[in-house]
Structure 1
Amino acid sequence: MLKKLKPLYFALDFQTGDEALDFLERHHLTGIPVKVGMELFYKEGPSIIHRLKENGHEIFLDLKLHDIPETVRRAMRGLASMNIDVVNVHAQGGEEMMRSAKLGLEEGAQDHVPILLAVTILTSSDQKMLEEELLIDHPLTDVVKHYGTRADKCGVDGVVCSVEEAEIIKKHTALAALTPGIRLPGGEKHDQKRVATPEKARENGSDAMVVGRAIRDAEKPGEMYRKIKEAFQHESINTHP
């Protein structure tokens, strides 16, 4: 049975595993769902996954694979053997690659098959970039919808998209939507162009969020984590006391 996405993944944007684990412990965040991205995984390798698992964390391994189908299948087979919970590919890799990714996860899975997400358009991209740099002459929202419907055909479990496009994904596919670019009102955008609040994410149909700097750089990261999670779940908490 497929596991469900957790409501909030804290992005471990740290240079070393020791830094990440120390931060989690100091701010009473041990055991929360986390996202391990390229920076940390390429530095530490599989050891950081094992260390986090020992501390009870569910792990979204955010490597955004994008390569020829057979390479992605073999890579996913190896990643699945580490007992990760969520992993992703770029939807731009095409249908055959997405199917191969799913197959690799099934081949390498131990206790459960990891959730497979397809990245649509990065939140650091905008319409101008699509047209001038990638030569994609379609509205960004149409591109996200197209990638999402393609992913839905390939056995992918969900997509990574901005909050702005989550509503489109939920309307046209059966996929889960995980949304980065989350900021509390007044928060900085940093290098992301399409951002939103946790409340807006919920309203647009997001199933889960990824938050990094807004938590990491807060004066009290533990409190900020809980505040963002509560803001996202507030409606369901009121409905189901």
Structure 2
Amino acid sequence: MAELILALDVRGRDEAERLLDRLPDLRWVKVGPVLFLRGGPALIRAFKARGLRVFLDLKWHDIPTTVAEAVEGARELAVDMATVHALGGQEMLRAAVQASGGLRLAAVSVLTSHGAEGYWDSVGRSPAGDGLKAEVARLATMALECGVQAVVASPQEIEAVRRVAGRDVWIVTPGIRPSGHGADDQRRTADPAAAVRAGATHLVVGRPITRAIDPVAVYEAICQFLS
């Protein structure tokens, strides 16, 4: 059964705490760079004190030593899952895995904000074969061979990742947009049902909940579908 991860796309700790007070059954939160810069490690500790699982989504992509030390810092905060960019390469990924201990690392493949043309322009390559699906599968394979335990992939590439990842690997899927919600700045999206059918294990939902007129209603509707 897929799990919901709430991306806390909010302005700061106070707003996050108010929203969490309204969602007592929530299990997972995602903390990105904006909220982490405003709240810091104390914010992570506060969420852990609530009994929440924390997905720290800072998408590390740096030299191996720096990434390994960042992973160690996340592990010290008892973060449950954190992201590294697969494009950081094998040496970086292996260093991150070696430093991870019990922290689950998720390899970011291709950002959901990329369309095909924009991605290939950014990496200076031409598409071949199945285009982005093949590229995401390639990055996932490399990351998994380095010991990473989860892959972040858009709804459009879930099946391609599952084919190379096997049954036990977590596929964490952003770009989830319930019916009636706009795509915002995401390019490759799907509704929760399509993502679950394709094989996602964790659905990341942010603005459709955090910016809704009634966040609780949207959250409960998604949870009801997943139950």
**Same fold flag (TM > 0.5):** yes
2:4 counterpart of 1:8: yes
- Given candidates 185, 188, 201, the residue that maps to 1:194 is 188
Aligned identity (percent) is 37
For the Cα contact (< 8 Å) 2:10–2:35, is it kept in 1?
Answer: yes
TM-score by length of 2: 0.93
Q: Where does residue 148 of structure 1 map in the other structure?
A: 140
Deviation at 1:32, TM superposition (A): 2.9
Matched, 1:22 2:18: yes
Task: Specify the SS of the correspondent of 1:133.
Answer: helix
How many correspondences in the alignment? 222
Q: Does 1:223 align with 2:217?
A: yes
Greater CA deviation, 219-228 or 122-131? 219-228
Asked if the contact 1:30/1:57 (under 8 Å) is kept, the reply is: no
Residue matched to 1:168? 160
Q: Scaled by the length of structure 1, what TM-score is found?
A: 0.88
1:68-107 equivalences under 5 Å are 68-106=63-101
1:210-232, CA deviations, whole angstroms, 9 ceiling, x for partnerless residues?
0001111223212211211332x
Distance 2:2 2:72 in 1: 23
Distance 1:58 1:43 in 2: 19
Identify the residue that residue 32 of structure 1 maps to in structure 2: 27
For 1:140 and 1:170, locate their aligned partners in 2 and report how far apart those are by CA, in whole Å.
15
Q: Among 129, 146, 150, which residue is 2:118 paired with?
A: 129
User: Deviation string for 1:46-95 (max 9, x for gaps)?
Assistant: 01001111111110000000001111111111110100111010000011
Partner residue, 1:114: 103
Q: Which amino acid aligns with 1:56?
A: G
Give the unaligned 5+ runs of structure 1: 107-112
Consecutive unaligned residues of structure 2, counting only runs of 5 or more, are none
Q: Per-residue CA shift, 1:30-50, capped at 9, x if unaligned?
A: 653100100010111101001
State the AA in 2 paired with 1:182.
I
Quick one: structure 1 residues 127 and 210, their matched pair in 2 at CA, closer, same or farther if it must change by over 3 Å?
same
